[in-house]
Amino acid sequence: MKFEAIAVENIPLIKKGDDIAQIICERSDILDDDIIVIASTIVGKAEGMTFTLEGIVPSAKAIEISKNSKFSPNFIQAVLDRSNDCLISSPILLVEMKNGHTCINAGIDESNVEGAVFLELPEDPDMSAESIGKKIEIATGMRISVIITDTNGRAFKIGQTGVAVGVYRLHPLKDWRGQKDLFGKELKITEESVADEIAGAANLLMGEGNGGYPIVIVRGLKLRSDDDTSVKEMYRSDREDLIKKSLKYLRDKA
Ligand code: GDP
Ligand code: MN
Ligand code: MN
């Protein structure tokens, strides 16, 4: 068994309005079942998701959080504006975003963006993945999947890794439940996060710095689905998310 990960060469610096699907098609030969992995940074740039902190009016909550934070009230407000809930406010800002993704600083980033501007994640990364994926399918006649990634930290472990924040035609979880192990025992709870695994693999080629490799084609896996798919399939419900419940308990007790 094997699969390949191929970084697409010669991607320009992405600007607002750029057609990422076209940029990919011009620089690669896409095959059926390819998984096109795209760094959210370039999707955000193409969608014009940059902003500055000027003119943001911080709320009392943002000002309060800033007293124990390295971040300015305006930056904190920008994060809160994109969040349903702030799980940890100091010394890091861990939020559940309006689209359900839970991450540091609502995914707002300064790196790999030109000038003194901030970049946020695409507003609806599943929709961005679908839009890019459909265009590639029409242009190439191939049936493909798309994963939009970001680099996120994890609880319990040092080190960031690529994770999926949007998908097209790929179920993020592979359900092993009901299948047998080597000894015929039925698997009861194993759901494999294939979207995050692929994001992590692609991120090995992307890196985090000035490499200039925001697009990786993962080839050799048979994961494409005809269904409508969403990263939300892997977000735990509030009722089932024990870690979030604990964080909220600690926050509200303080
Ligand atoms: P994130 O993980 O989505 O936040 O993206 P990163 O900022 O970590 O960038 C991932 C990869 O994409 C790195 O290799 C960057 O050098 C590259 N990258 C980011 N923006 C651009 C761009 O506009 N053009 C090109 N060619 N590469 C970019
Ligand atoms: Mn990022
Ligand atoms: Mn990254």
Residue 88 CA to residue 85 CA, distance in Å, equals 9
Radius of gyration (C-alpha) of the chain in whole angstroms: 19
CB atoms within 10 A of CB 199: 29
Which residue segments constitute the domains of the chain, with CATH numbers given?
Answer: 4-49+122-241 (3.30.1330.100), 50-120 (3.90.1660.10)
Distance between CA atoms of 104 and 75, rounded to whole angstroms? Answer: 13
Mean pLDDT of 117-125: 96
* Local confidence band at 116 (pLDDT 50, 70, 90 cut-offs): confident
Task: Write out the E strands in 131-230.
Answer: 145-152, 161-168, 174-175, 191-192, 215-219
Q: pLDDT at residue 254 above 90? A: no
Count other C-beta atoms under 10 Å from residue 23's C-beta.
20
For ligand 1, say whether the CB of 42 is within 6 Å of any of its atoms. Answer: yes
Entry pTM: 0.97
Query: Of the candidates 234, 44, 28, 228, which has an alpha carbon nearest to the alpha carbon of residue 145?
Result: 228
Contact 159, 153 (CB under 8 A): yes
Residue nearest ligand 1's atom 15 by CA: 212
Question: Which residues contact residue 73 at a Cβ distance below 8 angstroms, ignoring those fewer than 6 apart?
Answer: 58, 62, 63, 65, 66
Q: pLDDT tens digits, residue range 130-188?
A: 999 999 999 999 999 999 999 999 999 999 999 999 999 999 999 999 999 999 999 98
115 pLDDT band, cuts 50/70/90, is confident
Q: How far apart are CA 143 and CA 31, in angstroms?
A: 8
Nearest to 203 by CA among 165, 166, 167, 162: 162
> What residues pair up with 191 in beta bridges, in sequence order?
175
pLDDT of residue 92: 95
Q: Are 103 and 152 in contact (CB under 8 A)?
A: yes
Residues with a beta carbon under 5 angstroms from ion ligand 2: 109, 150
Find out whether the beta carbon of 105 lies less than 6 Å from any atom of ligand 1: no
Is-contact 218 19, C-beta < 8 A? no
Instruction: Answer whether 204 contacts ligand 1 (Cβ < 6 A).
Output: no
For residue 195, the model assigns a pLDDT of 98
Q: What is the pLDDT of residues 9-23, one digit of tens each?
A: 999 999 999 999 999
Q: Which residue is closest in CA terms to ligand 1's atom 27?
A: 212
How do strand 118-119 and strand 145-152 relate by DSSP bridges?
unpaired
217-226 tens-digit pLDDT: 999 999 999 9
**207 alpha carbon, closest ligand:** 1
Question: Does the beta carbon of 109 sit less than 6 angstroms from any atom of ligand 1?
Answer: yes
114 lines ligand 1 (CB under 6 A): no
CB of 13 shorter than 6 A to ligand 1: yes
Mean pLDDT of 81-107: 96
| d(C-alpha 64, C-alpha 68), whole Å | 8
Q: How many CB atoms lie within 10 A of CB 73?
A: 21
Residue nearest to atom 11 of ligand 1 (CA): 214
Q: Give me the half-sphere count of Cα atoms (radius 13 Å) on the Cβ side of residue 198.
A: 38
Q: How many Å apart are CA 249 and CA 32, to the nearest integer?
A: 48
- 64 by DSSP, 3-state: which? helix
